[in-house]
Amino acid sequence: MTAAPAAMPAIRLRGIAKSFGPVRAIRDASLEVATGEIHALMGENGAGKSTLMRVLAGMYTPDGGTAEVEGTEVTGWQTADAIAAGVGMVHQHFMLVPTLTVAENLVLGQELMKGVTLDMAAAERAVRDLSERTGLRVDPTRKVSELNVGEAQRVEILKVLYRGARILVLDEPTAVLSPPEVQELWEVLRTLRANGGTVVLITHKLDEVVAISDTITVMRAGETVGRMATQGTTPADIARAMVGRDVSLAQREAGVRDSGGPAAALLEVRDLAVAGARRARAVDGISFTVSAGEIFGIAGVEGNGQTELIEALAGLAPLAGGSIRLGGRDVSTLDVRGRIDAGLSHIPEDRHRRGLVLDFSIAENLILGLQHRFSGAAQLDAPKIATNATSQVKTFDIRPPDSALPARALSGGNQQKVVVAREMGGERPVRVLLAAQPTRGVDVGAIEFIHARLRAARDAGSAVVLVSADLNEVLALSSRVAVMYGGKFVCVVPGSEATAALLGPYMTGAARGAA
Amino acid sequence: MNRLLAVIGALLAVHVALLFVRPGGALAEPAVKSVRVGIVFDVGGRGDKSFNDGAYEGGERAMRELGAEVTFIEPGDGTDREAGLRLLAAEGVDLVLGIGFIFTDDIATLAREYPNTRFGGIDYALSTDAAGNVVPPPPNVTALKFREEEGSFLVGALAVLVGRSKTVGFVGGMDSPLIRKFEAGYTAGVKHVCPECTVVAQYAGVTPVAFRNPGRGKELALSQYQSGIDVIFHASGSTGLGVFEAARAQHKLAIGVDADQFNEAPGFVLTSMVKGVDAAVYDAIKRVRDHTFQGGVSAFGLAENGVGYVYDANNRALIPDAVRARVEAIRAGIVAGRIKVPGK
Amino acid sequence: MRKLDEALLPPALALAIALVVGDLLILSFGQSPGAVFAMLLEGTWGNAYGLGQTLYKATTLIATGLAVAIPLRAGLFNIGAESQLAAGGFAAALMGLAIPASLPWPVAAALCTVAAVVGGGLVGAIPGALKARFGASEVIVTIMLNFIVLALLNWIVASHLHVPESLHTPEIHSGGVPRFADFSAVFRGSAANVTLVGAIGVAIGAWWFLFRTRAGYELRAAGLQAEAARTGGVRLPRVWLVTMTLGGALAGLGGVNYVLGYKHYYEEGFGSGAGFLGIAVALVGRNHPVGVIFAALLFATLSQGGLAVNAVVPKQMMDVLQAVVILAVAVCVPEVRRVLQDAARRAVMRGTAAS
């Protein structure tokens, strides 16, 4: 530990319990965080990490237990109290107003006034100043809608710091970041710690926990099951504590099949171009082929056109040029439904916006995109939908196993399982699978599961396109790896040759090569 | 959830408790009255400071002077016109009055259903049969009609005699035969004293809303005043309030309608073409009390003092004596039948 | 059970608030709340005639409520029910004037109803098509269409079709539907007619459509999360067009109640705001067809009750009470609150953008 345990801990939660209707999200959770440390809160999906932190942040009133912040009892306080006391939470899902600028978002709720008008210049100065001090660099005059996800997260953190937070809670912050961005974030957190700030990090990336945290608390099934100093703990120890059994961590599989076999080309992309919001071309003339039984991994720092590429392949964004053939058939002019019918599956990168209708039940979400297969001339086939839901919930171990619950009620990992189940499960013939950030914000147990499903799809003869900001994931799964930079593939190598050392320079634009 | 239930329970308890509160004088049993009358206004009627308010005044006067018991009903929507009349008829009042030509069909229907109740319709519209003959209203209905064109004729003459311009203005509410009658009389009055003068006539719309659109009224009046017109006669319900506002703003003159509208813009209201709605209502009630009620058409013109124009202490300064004398001469001419006033 | 609680308690709270505010309003007019409420109930549910009038008013409101509720489920705000209602009634009357009097009433009524559906549907289709084609805001288009369509219809009637010295067309030749009074004399004089049965049937049909059909599924998905729906292959422009057309058709159906069930002619302004009240009905009914039926009955009761107590409390009190119900619902019902908050945020944003 870098900081000596203070006599008075920054946070002390004891015996917290919280239920939502019949669902007991937390039974008995205790957490002690010393002032000036980085504390990792780990656990599987639905273990209750986020709920516990929301109790701390005043968003939920606990049913039992006590909460203390800096020695003061605060059980059952409100969000405003928490902010006033310097407790700030950065959520997994951003709570920013997309059409406002960075500075406007930051001052929202406590606007600097000049007479009756907003003093935006002062706000921008304040933001720039804070940005300099913390190393969280963002242009305060840009609109949030124009930011990529990594930048948006920086704004979220800035927003909390702007309100004077001394205790910062980050919910799965690295899920959306590229490796260099993660390193930047660590720097920021270390700076905060050096200035006496306290950080609680909800995460499940074991290597990261080891890299950054001082202390670890592990939760399982609504209870805190372990507390350990990071020094002297191995990733395997933590993983075991989280799931209660030994797990295989994402490692490169022995004998990943390299491409180049005689398999049929299922996805052929020629000179694909997509117009971008800021750049003239977000995707600038990309050609590639993915064959049956192959996982084609696309690595790269976010915002280099991966999102637009996937949207264009899925039929969500219009092509500015080029063609897409699916199973030999030109699908360039087909809309989303046409491509689904042609055998395309798509795990979207943003499950809250694209992957799920959060207020639909699990059963309803499990047929989204397949509604034509689950209905007659007009009427939905209710028995078939119910049967499908029951079997998918079981196969994909979606918890809680109640298909009438709205997707909103599920944890992030279980939500993602619903998406994966829909896109890959059942009797759906998957010829081409687009998997965009399939394990973002998902815990270790679910990652393992999703990786297994991706491999199974490959082995069943699907062509898989995998886009991930997590380079390790791309390396672990892909038969071939492409690095995308500035809307182009700057490097395509067989999976067996791909290493972080080789690809790193391409990802940052330091190296360029012909695709 | 439970907290919500508790709040609902508490509110309901308060509600039940309030149900038993009886303020003094609430719903006191009325004393026995000489005659019981019900008046149904048109939708959005009361407060128009002209037509419906005139009926209200007539009813009030009957209460004061005749000891009548008068119930007023303001319908909430179009369906309520019939429902309002029916409510009163079913209660057994002696006379049911509908204020406005829009009641015509409803009154005709109910008069047949309640043959022993007497009905009256202000501006009741008479239909014509195939041969072109006017169909009389049912025997228990009195159609209270006005010869608005006669009053309009007088204010037309007055407008052009007082104004310094060769053009005078007219703002109508809904473009309809009834309001065309005002325009026709007004124009004839203008031409009678000044054949080369012209009238600019504009309507606020083609729907009943045109009678309740002061914004539009102001707009029309402003454009007329700005084109050099200095007197405008309006026949447009509460749309006319906008005309008065324009008159005040432009320091020009306006002529009110139906009731004395001097107070809408003191000093800028030349006169008002008063329609004796109050008198007609009062008269109908009185005849029921005196058992002299008769079905059929009662027309109120200059001769019957059913229409006229205001000349009193308020506007005497605006109307020179010579003008007053000239207009009075015209009035005598119309009453005597020497001057013919066109109705359309 | 929990779901039902969640659905019912917020509107119940809203109603309780409205009742207490109503009490205070009545007291402020120097009347006894107990007596006035008794009068109100007697005049609405206490006798067959009052009940008939209430049901008659509820019939139109069910139609306009659904016309707002179903588009809202698709994320579309249909403010045009007023003009769609008028267009439906006008089309029904035109059809009734065009067909021969010899046609038996069921056939004639069916033809007129189809005309009403087409008339309202056409007016609804315009904002739907403009949104699908150009992304035009349906809110603005429907508001503007209210003015245009009403003015156009009224001009047609005033200049070509009206009976002299009236605001209405001649009576239709055939197609009038039976009133309840034709079956039972106790309803004598009330305008309630078999259109009510049709309206309830349509509400049930709307429920089936929303929750049991593929099109309804796509419509709800589009309303809840348009991007997710699009990713799921839902063709949003088509949903917008179909939904707005459907909304217009439902409002148009409301015109049948007046034209075929009551007056047998089209009269200018017959809607008297029933289209706008449909927004309140949809909100209070929480965009659920069954909720819409009950909300329509509630507002019809307030309207008819307002007439019944008009002799002792002014009509404006009922208007205020109606506004209180709507406001209380807005405060109590979570999704309405969310919509309002979104709107407020957008307004704030516009404010900051302007400065």
Residues B137 and B165 in one domain: no
- Predicted pLDDT at B168: 95
A31-47 residue pLDDT tens: 999 888 999 998 776 67
Residues of B in contact with C61 (CB under 8 A): none
In a domain, B228, yes or no: yes
Q: Does B115 share its domain with B160?
A: no
- Are residues B8 and C16, on separate chains, in Cβ contact within 8 Å? yes
Segment C160-172 shows an average pLDDT of 82
Q: CB-based contact (8 Å) between B23 and chain C?
A: yes
Give exposure, A393-403, as e/b (b: 16+ Cβ within 10 Å).
beebebeeebb
Same domain for B152 and B124, yes or no, is: no
- Which of A100, A356, A380 lies nearest to residue C212, judging by beta carbons? A380
Please check whether residues B156 and B173 belong to one and the same domain: yes
**Are C167 and B208 inside 8 Å of each other by CB?**
yes
Q: How far apart are CA C189 and CA C184, in angstroms?
A: 11
Best to test chain C binding among A93, A124, A371 (most C CBs inside 10 Å): A371
CB neighbours (10 Å) of residue A232? 7
pLDDT band at C346 (very low <50, low <70, confident <90, very high): low
φ, ψ at C168 (rounded to 5°): -125, 165
Are B231 and B141 contained in the same domain? no
Choose from C59, C85, C166, C333 for mutation: most chain B CBs within 10 A.
Answer: C166
How high is the mean pLDDT of chain A? 84
pLDDT value at residue C61? 97
Please tell me the least confidently modeled range out of A62-66, A294-298, B133-137.
B133-137
Asked if residue B122 and residue B85 are part of one domain, the reply reads: yes
Residue A243, pLDDT above cutoff 80: no
First-to-last C-alpha distance (Å) of chain C: 49
Reduce the DSSP state of residue A363 to 3 states and report it.
Answer: helix
Count of CB atoms within 10 A of residue A434's CB?
A: 24
Residues B222 and B199 grouped into a single domain: yes
> Which CATH number is B137's domain given?
3.40.50.2300
How, if at all, do strands A281-291 and A265-275 pair? antiparallel
**Span B44-72, pLDDT tens digits:** 567 766 678 888 989 999 999 998 899 99
Phi, then psi, of A296 in degrees rounded to 5: -100, 110
Which of B146, B172, B202 represents a domain boundary (last residue)? B146
> What pLDDT digit, counting tens, does each position of A285-299 carry?
999 999 999 999 999
**What's the pLDDT band for C355 if we cut at 50, 70, 90?**
very low
Binding partners of B (≥3 Cβ pairs within 8 A): C
Q: Cα separation of B73 and B60, whole Å? A: 14
CA distance C217 to chain A (A): 8
Question: Closest partner residue to A354 among C217, C228, C233, by Cβ?
Answer: C228
B117 neighbors B35 (Cβ within 8 angstroms): no
Per-residue pLDDT reduced to its tens digit, B138-185: 899 999 999 999 999 999 999 999 988 899 999 999 888 788 999 999
Q: Touching check for C230 and chain A: CB below 8 Å?
A: yes
Residue of B nearest to C168 (CA): B102
Domains of chain A, first to last = 11-243 (3.40.50.300), 265-507 (3.40.50.300)
Q: Does residue B156 sit within a domain?
A: yes
Q: Is A156 left (phi over 0), alpha (psi -120 to 50) or beta?
A: alpha
Q: Is the pLDDT of residue A508 over 80?
A: no
For the residues of C74-119, what is the DSSP string, one character each? Answer: TT-----HHHHHHHHHHHHHHHHHHS-TTS-HHHHHHHHHHHHHHH
User: Is residue B181 one of the residues assigned to a domain?
Assistant: yes
N- to C-terminal Cα separation, chain A:
46
Closest CA to B118 of B148, B81, B153, B144: B144
Is there a single domain that holds both residue B155 and residue B139? no
CA A370 to chain centre: 25
- In A86-164 the beta strands, taken as DSSP E runs, fall at 87-90, 113-114, 117-118
C window 63-82, beta carbon within 8 A of B: none
Higher pLDDT, A161 or C108: C108
B53 and B168 housed in the same domain: no
Confidence class for position C11, pLDDT limits 50, 70, 90: confident
- Residue A200 pLDDT more than 70? yes
Average pLDDT over residues A204-215: 80
Closest Cα in chain C to B128: C164
Over residues A89-140, the pLDDT tens digits come to 887 767 788 778 888 888 776 655 556 666 778 878 888 888 887 777 788 8
Strand runs (DSSP E) across A50-91, as ranges?
64-69, 72-73, 87-90
Closest to A469 measured CA to CA, from A259, A276, A180: A180
Domain boundary pick from B113, B146, B179: B146
Confirm if C64 and C81 have CB atoms less than 8 A apart.
Answer: yes
Inter-residue contact C264 to C171 (CB < 8 Å): yes
Residue B118 in domain:
yes
Distance CA B102, CA B78 (A): 10
DSSP A281-314: EEEEEEEEEEETTEEEEEE--TTSSHHHHHHHHH
> What average pLDDT does range A76-96 have in this prediction?
81
Do B132 and B166 fall into the same domain? no
Residue B344 lies in a domain: no
pLDDT bucket at C353, cuts 50 / 70 / 90:
very low
Give the A:C interface size as CB pairs under 8 Å: 84
For the domain made up of C32-312, the CATH class stated in words is mainly alpha
Query: For chain B, how far is it from start to end, CA to CA, in angstroms?
Result: 68
Within a domain: B289: no
Q: Is the peptide bond before A429 cis (omega within 30 degrees of 0)?
A: no
Instruction: List chain C domain ranges.
Output: 32-312
Q: Does C137 touch chain B (CB under 8 A)?
A: no
Q: Assign residue B291 a region: left if phi > 0, alpha if psi is -120 to 50, beta otherwise?
A: left
Are B139 and B156 found together in one domain?
no
Q: Is C321 on the interface with B (CB under 8 A)?
A: no
Domain residues for B155? 148-274+311-336
Integer Cα distance of A39 and A230 in angstroms: 9
Task: Label residues C277-298 b or e (16+ Cβ within 10 Å = b).
Answer: bbbbbbbbbbbbbebbbbbbbb
Distance from CA of C15 to the nearest CA of B (A): 9
Backbone angles phi, psi at A389, to 5 degrees: -65, -45
Hey, what are A177's tokens?
């970041």
* pLDDT over 50 at A410, yes or no: yes
How many independent structural domains does chain B possess? 2
Which pLDDT score is estimated for A245? 66
Do residues A167 and A224 touch, judged by C-beta distance below 8 A? no
Compare all CA atoms of chain C with the CA of A383 and give the residue at the minimum distance.
Answer: C212
C161 pLDDT more than 90: no
Q: How many Å lie between the alpha carbon of A271 and the closest alpha carbon of chain C?
A: 23
Residues B94 and B218 in one domain: no
8 Å CB contact of C307 and B80 = yes
Q: Where does the pLDDT of residue A1 fall: very low under 50, low under 70, confident under 90, or very high at 90 and above? A: very low
Mean pLDDT value across residues C231-258: 96
